[in-house]
């Protein structure tokens, strides 16, 4: 069984760098999949990812104001701890 990740409207808005109003409009237009739990929307994360990539503007917001703004911090700067390029480029089939 697949583990489905669901987010609240506010979590989705923060993660993707858009307003809660934008998320609610997408729900209303049925652009993203969701369920209602205790009167609250729970949005399917995979559906949200697909929706965010349909628009160049939303994709850019994800990178600039959403979770994408933290990605540069995750890059390994010290080559000593990075995987060898020889190992990455080597195909093992």
Measured between alpha carbons, how far is 48 from 31 in angstroms, rounded to an integer? 9
- Ranges of the chain with pLDDT below 50: 93
pTM of this prediction?
A: 0.65
pLDDT at 68: 67
User: Which residue ranges make up each domain of the chain?
Assistant: 6-70
- Other CB atoms closer than 10 Å to residue 33's CB: what's the count? 17
Q: DSSP states of 44-82 as a string?
A: EHHHHHHHHHHSHHHHHHHHHTSGGGGHHHHS---GGGS
pLDDT at 87: 64
- Of the candidates 8, 12, 48, the one whose C-alpha atom is nearest the C-alpha of residue 32 is 48
Tell me, what's the pLDDT at 38? Answer: 95
Tell me, what's the pLDDT at 28?
A: 95
- The predicted structure's pLDDT at residue 4: 87
At 13, list the tokens.
Answer: 């808005």
Q: What is the pLDDT of residue 35?
A: 95
pLDDT > 70 in the chain, percent: 70
pLDDT at 65: 73
């Amino acid at each position: 069984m697949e583990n489905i990740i669901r987010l609240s409207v506010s979590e989705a808005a923060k993660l993707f760098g858009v307003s809660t109003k934008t998320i609610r409009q997408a729900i209303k237009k049925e652009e993203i999949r969701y369920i209602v739990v205790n009167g609250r929307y729970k949005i399917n994360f995979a559906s949200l990812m697909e929706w965010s990539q349909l628009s160049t503007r939303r994709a850019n917001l994800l990178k600039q104001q959403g979770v994408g703004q933290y990605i540069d911090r995750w890059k390994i700067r010290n080559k000593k701890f990075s995987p060898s390029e020889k190992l990455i480029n080597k195909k093992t089939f």
